[in-house]
Amino acid sequence: MTADPSAQPPSAATDAACDSGQQNLVEAPFPVVGVAASAGGLEAFTQLLHHLPTDTGMAFVLIQHLAPDHESLLSKILARATPLPVHEVQHGMSVEPNQVYVIPPNTKMILAEGVLQLSPREKVFGKYMPGDAFFTSLAADRGHKAIAVVLSGGDGDGSLGLKAIKAAGGVTFAQCEDTAQFDSMPHTAVATGKVDFVLPPARIAEELATLSRNPLLIDPLPVSGPSAAPETGDALSTIFALLKAAMGVDFSRYKPNTVDRRMQRRMLLYKLEQLEEYAQYLQTHPAEVKALYEEILIHVTSFFRDPEAFEQLKERVFPVITQNKSADAPIRIWVAGCSTGEEVYSIAISLLEFLDAQAAAPPIQIFATDISEPAIDKARAGLYAENQMVDVSTERRRRFFYALEGDRYQINKSVRELCVFARHNLGSDPPFSNLDLISCRNVLIYLGDSLQKRIMPIFHYSLNPSGFLLLGTAESTGHDADLFTLVDSKYRLYAKQIAGTRPLLSFTPSRYPSARVSDRLSTSAPPEGFDLQKKVDQLIASQYAPTGVVIDDKMQVLQLRGDVDRYLRLVSGAANFNLFNLVRDGLLVELRAAIYQAQRQDAPVSKHGLQLEEGSPVRGVRLQVLPFKVRC
């Protein structure tokens, strides 16, 4: 990157590093290890250096929390502990391999184009986070050759930057808590789920030495080839087949560089050098298939990233979509690829702020989808750590969040209830319809051309005539520019183009049988008293309606429809028609969660990709809960 991210908050730098897709186009010459530490960190870093070879070919940069008004003796102390050259950084100093660099007091430091840049340190909502700032710049500068280490310290610095390092394909370490004098920093880092190795300092040094000899870290990234499907039988096709069989997603239609980066990161962790070795490892370790799946689905997001984009929504989108809305016609928004929910809640907050000035606000329905079930679960909970809130103003925190113990925040229930979260595959699942706005930011940059060509017509189909599409700043409508009119080029805001050629769409075909000829209604006049509407309803229900049950608010089964034996079973003992007592085990957890969500939000809830493992073969299940009220 040529831009200086020093003026950006950590989350903005994270987005710049990971959303642009540019950081790995130019191969970094050698790895750089960033080390974040605070209280007790000097001793830990000294131990690490003591066990480190002098010829790793890596540069080491220590981001130690220092007293702002005292001269630092850190470089002199470390010089006595290692034969490696140790430097206190000066602005504009270039990093070189096999050398150690130490941050000066009272500064913020980043790495840009191999050069260390200093600026006055700054608080982020009352806290100094120099580790986060450096890690995010390191991810942008080094890509898959970025390595982050979090050592002893008394706050949570570094944990946000770890996400940028991992998203860029780098490797992350944290000191194990039982060896840290102060475990808050490593504990917070590990809690993000983004740490690859949790080890004492001496073992971290050993792993770094091992990584330095791995060809995947030394040589340029190989590519999988063009976006066309790999040949049947090779290692890559085997990996794609394993992912599709286990997780239901065809990653052969993703951009090769994205998949390469994630696979090779996993191979580094297991010290594998050939793709064939990794394919074999996946076949014998099913848990690694799921781990690779989650890594390919890069979860990089933040609250109000690109703040001006949300101002564009308030100025150019919300006035249009609320105009002429009747009091009972809802505003319908779809956030596709919602990750862990920050984007969803940012749009909800912006819309609520806009509607403050409206005399009568219409209902709001925000549908938020992602292909990752763990991401959806986090988004639905709406719980965020302090360092994830850096772009949320004090006023917004006060109005839209609850402050919880442990420096955590939860989005207010009133905002959560506007949002329905569901797992959804953009490439195959049917879309939502009658939408006023679709936000799909920084998703398309990871998808191949064939998948993008399928998705754009779907978005066009889903929008109302006056609807809008919001993409990421590095994305566009591509080959389907005739379907949309560009409203803002900087923030990639589009309006639906009515004059565009109506796209031909095909969704997953229905698995329900078609009507038989013998069941067709006669064209002759019906007899007197014959209820034609009721007969048609019965016919449609008997032929096309999915298997289902009707329950009351106490979960008691009132009606059964279709062949329910595959999903429900009677148990011995006194008769109990509570649905949770009847449903088969493979569906119980998801069914309970879906019913609870539908009750709480008074909106339909869908669950895709469920598996019913009783019997053979394993069957896929799509679950939908539809709330309704009986009015007398």
User: What is the set of active-site residues?
Assistant: 38, 65, 157
Beta bridge partners, 108, equal 119
Beta bridge partners, 124, equal 127
Please, which residues have CB within 8 angstroms of residue 379's CB and are 6 or more apart in sequence?
A: 338, 339, 340, 341, 344, 368, 370, 419, 421
Query: Alpha-carbon distance 186 to 198, whole Å?
Result: 9
Query: Alpha-carbon distance 147 to 34, whole Å?
Result: 6
Query: Alpha-carbon distance 216 to 171, whole Å?
Result: 12
Query: Alpha-carbon distance 456 to 463, whole Å?
Result: 11
Residue among 109, 113, 93, 95 at smallest CA distance from 1: 113
Residue 388, φ and ψ in degrees, nearest 5? -90, -5
- The structure tokens listed for 215 are 């060809």
- Which residue is associated with the tokens 């087949």? 241
Contact 168, 145 (CB under 8 A): no
CA atoms within 13 A on the CB side of 222: 10
Please, which residues have CB within 8 angstroms of residue 125's CB and are 6 or more apart in sequence?
A: 386, 389, 390, 394
Q: How many CB atoms lie within 10 A of CB 283?
A: 13
- The structure tokens listed for 175 are 């000191």
Answer whether the bond into residue 220 is a cis peptide, omega within 30°.
no
- The structure tokens listed for 129 are 């986070």
CA angle 509, 510, 516 (to 5 degrees): 120
Q: How many CB atoms lie within 10 A of CB 631?
A: 4
Contact 504, 480 (CB under 8 A): no
DSSP per-residue codes, 215-245: HHHHSPPP---SSSPPPTTSHHHHHHHHHHH
